[in-house]
Structure 1
């Protein structure tokens, strides 16, 4: 009997697989039997089948990178992301969507394949911003999306990028399923990665009171990789359109008030109260 959690005979593409959660996902699916291809702007030091240079901020880079892919993939892990800077929306979402659209056009995501994004708890509450995000998602291509961000002040930021990912995953569940493709995302709590270490004062202090009260530490990239590997495996064959919280219960405990100290933060993230 075939183990539905395994990747034997499958090809996995990890975009942003040089470091952090992406690298952990590359190692995990390789352990599960996948042929692993990593695309990243940074050097790839992992023992993978192929490493391909890709700058998601460059609209012309996707085509060049896919020329080197060598055929369709069964699992796409959209893991690359940055914390700030002028290219934030291009790297965190616009470039990922452009790559997916190009792969679909070239037949590189066949029926039975799956996509998993890395979002964030910063992206919960996307429903309260739905009209604006859907307007952005209606942009037809990379350059139109980039122009929309340029024209809308306050949208080139980390939280908006993660709201966009969550909305995209929900919105694309139907059109992609009609092609036989699943799409999901994880929403990690604070995870000890190089990107988080570079923003430690903000990212790694978030939720410290909850960790102190429950006796847990920061999440690890390996924890996130295992969940991503599950979502893109046949074991999750009925799961699509989901943004899965991987935060040891912090947000749901806050939502229901069993972790009372987090209720105000949760309401803020959900857009129920205004900051200040």
Structure 2
């Protein structure tokens, strides 16, 4: 396969978890336009133009199992896109349910050799390496129920908020890059900067104001879901066959520029996210 064909999805089946809105819907539209048969799992109704829709509740492993039974057949590309901003079910929806989907697909052989997985993480998930022992303990839980119990047991330790759900994704991607590739499957994630989605608009004061000074200084706008969908489609395509275990920042360079101090105004918040300084 050469040239433009490497970017296409002809003859492939793409499964989008969270394909009803936002970045998931953008990814579904893009890979569909690139030739994929698209199946969307979401709690909300899915626009038929985005492909087949199957309802799923990521808070319930039985619902996930039922949805995957309806998917049937092999899967070539998995887009793990669903997420929420807060609430008691945050870790189930943002990570534990997605992990259950992946476990089912991998254990059943439903995810084809040569396939790929792409998560949506977040800039909020950077700095995960500083909390690696605790994240590894969490990731060592063997199933949905034990992971949920672990989170509840560590609520007093500030585990289970939005940032740690994204750190868990980043640690999971790094942890599983080798064993999954040994089975012929790549896994990566994108870490978006502020992106204009329904979820972000519902949390606009915090999410869409983040890095506003950087965007003003660089003449850039808030990211679009399509920008993220394009990167996800690339990462799960044969064109990205050499990329594995990566959590890719898609943020106009805000984190990198702040990290090294060329954008000095952003350095304090990035130092905080990276665990170099604390609020205390």
Q: TM-score range by the shorter chain?
A: over 0.9
Q: Does 1:58 align with 2:60?
A: yes
Local SS of the residue matching 1:186: strand
Q: 1:24 aligns with which of 23, 26, 41?
A: 26
Q: Report the counterpart of residue 76 of structure 2 in structure 1.
A: 74
**Corresponding pairs, count:** 276
Local SS of the residue matching 1:47: helix
Q: Following the alignment from structure 2 to structure 1, what is the Cα–Cα distance between the partners of residues 162 and 253?
A: 22
Q: CA deviation at 1:110?
A: 1.8
Q: Following the alignment from structure 1 to structure 2, what is the Cα–Cα distance between the partners of residues 275 and 175?
A: 37
Q: Report the counterpart of residue 200 of structure 1 in structure 2.
A: 204
Q: Deviation string for 1:73-94 (max 9, x for gaps)?
A: 1000000000001100000000
> Quick check: 1:19–1:194 contact (8 Å CA) kept in 2?
yes
Q: Report the counterpart of residue 222 of structure 1 in structure 2.
A: 226
More displaced stretch, 254-263 vs 116-125: 254-263
Q: Report the counterpart of residue 113 of structure 1 in structure 2.
A: 115
Q: Report the counterpart of residue 86 of structure 2 in structure 1.
A: 84
Q: Following the alignment from structure 2 to structure 1, what is the Cα–Cα distance between the partners of residues 136 and 237?
A: 28
More displaced stretch, 97-106 vs 47-56: 47-56
Q: Which aligned segments of 4 or more residues in structure 1 are displaced greater than 2 angstroms?
A: none
Q: Following the alignment from structure 1 to structure 2, what is the Cα–Cα distance between the partners of residues 103 and 263?
A: 40
Q: CA deviation at 1:59?
A: 1.6
Q: Deviation string for 1:86-120 (max 9, x for gaps)?
A: 10000000000011101112211121000000000
Q: 1:237 aligns with which of 226, 229, 241?
A: 241
> Quick check: 2:84–2:90 contact (8 Å CA) kept in 1?
yes
> Quick check: 1:18–1:46 contact (8 Å CA) kept in 2?
no
Q: Report the counterpart of residue 97 of structure 1 in structure 2.
A: 99
> Quick check: 1:79–1:118 contact (8 Å CA) kept in 2?
yes
Q: Following the alignment from structure 2 to structure 1, what is the Cα–Cα distance between the partners of residues 80 and 128?
A: 19
Local SS of the residue matching 2:107: helix
Q: CA deviation at 1:275?
A: 1.2
Q: Following the alignment from structure 1 to structure 2, what is the Cα–Cα distance between the partners of residues 65 and 71?
A: 12
Q: Report the counterpart of residue 132 of structure 1 in structure 2.
A: 134
Q: CA deviation at 1:70?
A: 2.3
Q: Does 1:15 align with 2:17?
A: yes
> Quick check: 1:125–1:270 contact (8 Å CA) kept in 2?
yes
Q: CA deviation at 1:30?
A: 0.5
Q: Deviation string for 1:129-160 (max 9, x for gaps)?
A: 00000000000000000000000022121000
Q: Deviation string for 1:157-203 (max 9, x for gaps)?
A: 10000000000000000110110000000000000000000000100
Q: Following the alignment from structure 1 to structure 2, what is the Cα–Cα distance between the partners of residues 209 and 112?
A: 41
More displaced stretch, 130-139 vs 65-74: 65-74
Q: Following the alignment from structure 1 to structure 2, what is the Cα–Cα distance between the partners of residues 171 and 155?
A: 19
TM-score normalised by structure 2 residue count? 0.97
Q: Report the counterpart of residue 269 of structure 2 in structure 1.
A: 265
Local SS of the residue matching 1:110: strand
Unmatched tracts of structure 1, length 5 or more:
none
TM-score normalised by structure 1 residue count? 0.98
Q: Report the counterpart of residue 182 of structure 1 in structure 2.
A: 186
